Amino acid sequence: MGLLILPILITLLFSVAQGSPQLRRANDRQGQCTYTFTVPSPKEGTCAEPGEAMTAIRELQRENAAVKQDTDGLKIRLSLLEKVVNRLLGGEGTGQSTSSPQSFSDTQVDVRRLMLEKDEWESQRSSLEMSYSDLLKEKASLEEEKQRLTERLEKVQQRQCPQVAETSRNRDQPISPRQAPYVTDSHGGPARTSSAQGKGGPSELSPWGADGVGYQELKSELTALPASRMFPESHSTGQGSATMGTPGCGELTWVGEPTTYRKADNIAGKYGVWMKDPEPVSPFTLDTIWRINTVGADIRQVFEYENLDQLVKGYPTKVYVVPRSMESNGAVVYKGSLYYIRKKSKIIVKYDFRTETVAIQKELVDAGYHGKYPYSWGGYTDIDLAIDEMGLWAIYSTENAKGSIVISQLEPKTLEAKQSWNTTIRKQAVANAFMVCGTLYTIASYSSPTTTVSFAFDTHTGVQKQMSIPFQNQYGYASMVDYNPTEKKIYGWDNFTMVAYDVRLSKM
């Protein structure tokens, strides 16, 4: 009878050993069999590349299939074994098929032998059953791993198929991802649809964090006090405009009506940043447009558009994913790099678009952050970066300054503060601020359709003065206001809408 069972077991062991999970058998010195199951552990890709992720997923799928096949095979064979064992236990009556006919006198010996064999088989069976349940567990963990990798792959695909997230309008006609040039047909749609990866793609929105729009706006309501009560009297001496040696520089005298360029498609674009680089470096140009939707718990995507026309149509050339989340919309693009505030920190990150790496990051010493000194509209606008004819600036506040605006001129290469100025303008009392020719200008309201540029602080003279240049918030929620010194324009993001204003300076 043992001869009958042995081939079955051998077959069983063989077939199991062929799949990825391996069952090994060894005889110890007492002639007892020991069985070992080995299942290769899933790959630990901490940051799998898309290709790697795909390969890993395919491997896992193959492994899964193999495991399933093996376990199914095991089940069948186990039940076969059971039948054989039962038959052995059930007595000789059914034993006709056995190859060794026994005489009645031998029966007692056989029965004893069979009892021993039965015990052995029982223990082997239970060990196989245990192994089987281990296999099932392994299978479950493989499936978990597969799920994890699938999610990762989706994220990667989302990065690679930015237009999916960029505009729902284009979702059914994905364009080539990453820098692939695309052609626009005569109907204004993409002439070529490349990968199908965008189809059934991931959701449009970043997952909501605790710091969603509602919370930010609620916070802004709590902190927005009437400006009139918060300004100390200005030190204006009426000295007039500063000593501005820079060509084309002067004092801000007029801001035009906003021109609307584009409305964001979804809530992620209620606030945002859009701008041109005033001093672009090749391969970027003065036409290149940069855009970031800044609502969400994980703001990392930066859209690049070839020009205004492509922005309006919603076709980005490329999407960059910065390595660390940013906070709010204080970011600027200057000389081929993005400067932004890292989430929940006072760290300024310089991200080089050409190498797609972080060139440098540095803490802005003493700066309040993450809701300590935001603009009146909230949105963790504690640290606002700005570009003007003089270069790169940070507009923020500190504990020492007790919430008044501090301005620092930054060295773009090192992010060191070259020089700083204290103003007496309460940061939380103004809606926004921007720099023009070394002078800080602040806007009184983010929601009033007819507000004003109400204060100026000239870093050349240290003179602060009140002013009243009309400024329109056409859409009722201005979250970003930034100056472009090359175009002499103000770029703004007003309640989902990308707008721009012409400006006039006194000596232009």
Which residues from 390-419 bind ligand NAG, rule CB under 6 A?
Answer: 400-401
Q: How many residues bind ligand NAG (CB under 6 A)?
A: 11
Reduce the secondary structure of 348-367 to three states and give it as a string. Answer: EEEEECCCCEEEEEEECCCE
Whether the ω angle into residue 283 lies within 30 degrees of 0, i.e. cis, is yes
456 Cβ partners below 8 Å, 6+ apart? 251, 252, 439, 440, 441, 442, 464, 465, 467
Cα radius of gyration rounded to whole Å, the chain = 35
The sign one gets for the Cα dihedral 138, 143, 148, 149 is positive
Which residues from 23-62 bind ligand NAG, rule CB under 6 A?
Answer: none
Which region among 65-73, 112-120, 273-281, 473-481 touches ligand NAG (by CB under 6 A)?
473-481
Please say which residue, 361 or 422, places its beta carbon nearer to ligand NAG.
422
* Minimum CB–partner distance for residue 266 and ligand NAG (Å): 11
Position among 357, 476, 507, 508 found at the interface with ligand NAG (CB under 6 A): 476
H-run or E-run covering 227? helix 227-230
Long-range contacts of 247-251 (CB under 8 A, 24+ apart): 248/389, 248/488, 248/505, 248/507, 248/508, 249/389, 249/437, 249/438, 249/505, 249/507, 250/437, 250/505, 250/506, 250/507, 250/508, 251/437, 251/439, 251/456, 251/505, 251/506, 251/507
Position among 35, 132, 208, 477 found at the interface with ligand NAG (CB under 6 A): 477
* Minimum CB–partner distance for residue 279 and ligand NAG (Å): 27
* Minimum CB–partner distance for residue 402 and ligand NAG (Å): 8
- Cβ–Cβ contacts within 10 Å for residue 275, how many? 26
220 touches ligand NAG by CB under 6 A: no
Which region among 76-84, 108-116, 306-314, 472-480 touches ligand NAG (by CB under 6 A)?
472-480
Which residues from 317-376 bind ligand NAG, rule CB under 6 A?
Answer: none
* Minimum CB–partner distance for residue 148 and ligand NAG (Å): 37
Please say which residue, 162 or 269, places its beta carbon nearer to ligand NAG.
269
Q: What is the DSSP string of 277-335?
A: -SS--TT--TT-EEEEE--SS-EEEEEEESSHHHHHHT--SEEEEEEEEE-TT--EEET
Map residues 417-446 to x or -, x wherever contact with ligand NAG holds by CB under 6 A: ---xxx------------------------
Residue with tokens 């855009």: 291
Which residues from 301-320 bind ligand NAG, rule CB under 6 A?
Answer: none
- Is the Cβ–Cβ distance between 402 and 414 less than 8 Å? no
Please say which residue, 67 or 401, places its beta carbon nearer to ligand NAG.
401
496 touches ligand NAG by CB under 6 A: yes
Please say which residue, 283 or 476, places its beta carbon nearer to ligand NAG.
476
Please say which residue, 353 or 475, places its beta carbon nearer to ligand NAG.
475
* Minimum CB–partner distance for residue 268 and ligand NAG (Å): 14
261 touches ligand NAG by CB under 6 A: no
495 touches ligand NAG by CB under 6 A: yes
* Minimum CB–partner distance for residue 404 and ligand NAG (Å): 8
186 Cβ partners below 8 Å, 6+ apart? none
Residues at the interface with ligand NAG (CB under 6 A):
400-401, 420-422, 447, 475-477, 495-496
